[in-house]
Structure 1
Amino acid sequence: MPDSLNAFNARSPAEAEEELLACCASRAFAGKVAALRPYRDLDGLVAAAGAAVRELSWAEVLEALRAHPRIGERAGGDDRQASWSRQEQSGLDDGVDDEVRAALLEGNRAYEERFGHVYLVCATGLSGAELLGRLRERLGNDEEREREVVRGELAAITRLRLGKLVKEGR
């Protein structure tokens, strides 16, 4: 077991929850995953986190979504979550033309109007054009299907961030 996972397992419940909130900003998620410690390995932590995301009520998912900036907007602050968000959206930093940026802005507005929350996508490794294509595709979803997609995207982002958390091992 990596020393960083040992350190995470040894934290107080409040400290562990605070670290987990950088991965998924739902208090219910953080409480559940922290309570299930100790974890033998990253795979066990990721599995528990995935189950916890799937079990969130929709109100708890919305709580987590409020911590995510719109696609194309830079997260402010210097905390872990903001730093990770900027890394995840780095595909928008270079080579994205004004047309794609404007379409993302308009798409974000249309998405929020249709679904009532930020468009969430695991942006790591995706270009602006790919993010825009996914946004446009998802605008065609009904509410039930979109909620399933959002949960999947939230789980994917959480999985990536847990890997970073364990790797950083503060």
Structure 2
Amino acid sequence: MASFSWTEEDVLRCCGSKRFAKELASASPFSDLHHAIQSARGIWFNKIDVAGWLEAFAAHPPIGSISPSVSQWSKEEQSAAIATATDTTLQELVDWNIRYQEKFGFVFLICASGRGTPEILAELKKRYVNRPIVELEIAAQEEMKIIELRLARLVKSDVGSNSSAPSSLPVNSSITAGGSSRTRPPITTHVLDIARGSPASGMDVHLEMWKGTSQQPLFSNRESTGWVLVGSSTTNTDGRSGQLMGIVDHITPGFYRISFDTGKYAPSGFFPYVSIVFQVRKNQTGDHFHVPLLHAPFSFSTYRGS
């Protein structure tokens, strides 16, 4: 069976984060593309911090750029956008790219392969209203899609230069399209201290599932013994919790609760703890649920991330 070993320079063609390139190159050789993408996902989402994400984003040209410095891979990925652009829509795309970068501080990132300019413009305008922390995670997810496509190109080029390699690769199409094979648990979280503008490290986190006698934990339901502990962890220096549950392909549907010991983290704050209850439906068992906490001494908020 063929295997693939890459240098940091090879991986940098796929992603501009130097730490990501070092980590993925060190993790090789890979038995096939599926193996490489699983490793890449684990590194990108679990080991690369925000600085690494931003470094990767900065390596991408704005969508629609015709600069001579744009790489051949970027040109090919944006070919559908260029082909469907008119002078008017291209200028609008340039203007919106500038507005986006002024608001968020990084280039608008989208996996543009096969997407026309109207679709890209619509998505850019839709995402422009997001909060920065939400948009950062969406951009990281889009970067991962681009990495997957480029890793496939890298493997294909290795096959072409290696006569002993098989003519076709055992590629799982659901992986390359961003499917549900997991490199992390189905439920994850991180905590940002928005008063300090930094990750909240050292905060205890508990994940529970509802197992009470009623079907669901209603607002009027006073039963407290129905919650069963799934796992516990403490946030690291990036504000991310460790594993709160096992890595499984399909999560059990039902109601889950993530609780944060905000009182221990910030004793002078208003909230002794924060609990977030959410539902995993039967048609969502293969999804990923990232439920972050944005915490301040007298307020908090959350959202479903990626």
TM-score, structure 2 as length reference: 0.50
Separation in 1, partners of 2:152, 2:25:
15
Is 1:143 equivalent to 2:132 in the alignment? yes
Report the 3-state secondary structure (helix = DSSP H, G, I; strand = E; otherwise coil) of the residue aligned with 1:73: coil
What amino acid is the match of 2:111?
C
Separation in 1, partners of 2:113, 2:10:
21
Deviations 1:83-122 (A, max 9, x none): 1100000012323112211110111011001101111110
**Percent pairwise identity:** 35
Is 1:85 equivalent to 2:77 in the alignment? no
Q: How does 1:4-153 map to 2 (within 5 A)?
A: 6=3, 8-9=4-5, 16-55=7-46, 56-74=48-66, 76-77=68-69, 82-153=71-142
Paired residue for 1:164, among 153, 157, 161?
153
Confirm or deny: 8 A CA contact 1:91 1:124 kept in the other structure: yes
Separation in 1, partners of 2:149, 2:74:
11
Separation in 2, partners of 1:95, 1:25:
28
Structure 1: 5+ residue runs without aligned partners? none
Separation in 1, partners of 2:29, 2:94:
42
Separation in 1, partners of 2:42, 2:150:
16
Separation in 2, partners of 1:156, 1:46:
10
What amino acid is the match of 1:22?
R
Separation in 2, partners of 1:36, 1:90:
32
Q: Which has the higher contact order (CA 8 A, sep 6+)?
A: 1
Shift of 1:75: 5.2
Shift of 1:36: 1.0
Confirm or deny: 8 A CA contact 2:77 2:112 kept in the other structure: yes
Separation in 1, partners of 2:25, 2:91:
40
Deviations 1:113-135 (A, max 9, x none): 11011111100000000110110
TM-score, structure 1 as length reference: 0.87
What amino acid is the match of 2:153?
K
What amino acid is the match of 1:35?
S
Aligned length: 158
Structure 2: 5+ residue runs without aligned partners? 162-306
Larger Rg: 2
Report the 3-state secondary structure (helix = DSSP H, G, I; strand = E; otherwise coil) of the residue aligned with 1:93: helix
Between Structure 1 and Structure 2, the one with more helix by share is 1
Runs of 4+ in 1 over 6 A off after TM superposition: none
Confirm or deny: 8 A CA contact 1:75 1:83 kept in the other structure: no
CA RMSD, 1 decimal:
1.5
